[in-house]
Chains A and B, each alone.
With several copies, the nearest count.
Chain A
Amino acid sequence: MENSILIGGFGGQGVMIFGQLLCYTAAETTDKYVTYFPSYSMEKRGGTANCYVTISDEPIGAPKAEMTDYVVALNSLAMNKFVNNVYSGGTMFINSSVCTEKPDRADITFVEVPASDVAREIGDSRVTNLCMIGAFIAYTDMLPPEKVLATAFKKLGAKHPEFNALNEAAFKKGMEIGRAAKAKKA
C-alpha cells in the first residue's frame, strides 16, 4: 500500500508542518517507508508553498508524485492548482473557509473543512493546519490520531508549550469534522 498526499497553501499557513507531522508520526511509530518533499516558490512569504508526503509499504521511488491519492488545499490558489493532481477516486480536502468556489470534478471526493473559521474561533489563525490534520486523519484513518497529536506536542510544543492546548483543540475539532464527512460518505 502506498499513500501519497499533496498539501498546498500560502507560505506561512503551516503547509510544511502538516506534511512533517504526518511523516514524523509514520516514520517513528510504524515500519513504513516515508518520504517528504517540500517545494517553495522564490518568495519567502506570500508565495505558494506545497509539499508531498508518501507513506508506503515498499521503498518509495518518486517522492514527488505527479498524481496523488489525497490533496489538501489550504487556500483556493492551491485548490485550483492541484485539483487535477488527485487520482480519480481520490479525495481533496479543502479549507472551505477560504475556498469558496469548489472546482468541478465529479470523480473525486471533496471534504470541506472550515479550518480558518475553526482557528479564528479558537483564537489563533496559526492552528488552521492542525484543524486540517485532524480532519484528514479522522477521514483517512491513515495514522493513529493520538500518535499524530503526540508528535505535534513534541515538535511544536517543545519551544512553545502554550500552543499545545490550542493545537489540541483545533485538531479535535478537525477530527469531528473529518469523522462527520466520513460518516456522510459511507
Chain B
Amino acid sequence: MPKIEIEAEYCKSCLYCVEACPKKVIGTTSAVNSKGYQYAVAINPDACVGCAICATVCPDAAIEVYK
C-alpha cells in the first residue's frame, strides 16, 4: 500500500500538499513543530495512491513517498 511520510520538523504549513493531493489524504491538526508550525499530516492515509504529487509540490522537501 502506498504511503507518505511527512517530516514534521521540515514542514512550514504552507498547505500546498493539502491543496494538491487529489485524494485529500493530507490535512493539519492542532499540533505544532518546534518552530511553531502546524505541520501537515496524513489524516487520511489509506486513500493514498502514491502519485507523489504532494511530495513534488512540497517546497521544503518534507514529504517522502513509498509505493
Docked-complex contact A46 and B32, CB < 8 angstroms: no
Given the complex of chains A and B, what is the CA–CA distance between A110 and B6 in angstroms? 36
Residues B1-43 near A (CB distance < 8 A): 12, 32, 34-37
Given the complex of chains A and B, what is the CA–CA distance between A58 and B61 in angstroms? 53
Q: Mark A102-123, 1 if CB is under 8 A from B, else 0.
A: 0000000000000000000000
Residue in chain A with minimal CB distance to B34:
A77
Chain B contact surface mostly: loop
Number of chain A interface residues as a range: under 10
- Taking CB atoms, residues of chain A closer than 8 Å to B34 are 77
- Taking CB atoms, residues of chain B closer than 8 Å to A75 are 36
**Min CB–CB distance B42 → chain A (angstroms):** 23
Residue in chain A with minimal CB distance to B36:
A10
Q: Mark A1-28, 1 if CB is under 8 A from B, else 0.
A: 0000000001001000000000000000
**Min CB–CB distance A96 → chain B (angstroms):** 14
- Taking CB atoms, residues of chain B closer than 8 Å to A77 are 34, 36
- Taking CB atoms, residues of chain A closer than 8 Å to B37 are 46
Residue in chain B with minimal CB distance to A75:
B36
Query: Which of B12, B32, B35, B37 has the most A CB atoms < 10 Å from its CB?
Result: B35
Q: List 12 A-B contacts (CB under 8 A).
A: A10-B35, A10-B36, A13-B36, A46-B12, A46-B35, A46-B36, A46-B37, A75-B36, A77-B34, A77-B36, A98-B32, A98-B36
Interface positions of A (Cβ within 8 A of B): 10, 13, 46, 75, 77, 98
Known: A75-B36, A98-B32. 10 other contacts (CB 8 A): A10-B35, A10-B36, A13-B36, A46-B12, A46-B35, A46-B36, A46-B37, A77-B34, A77-B36, A98-B36
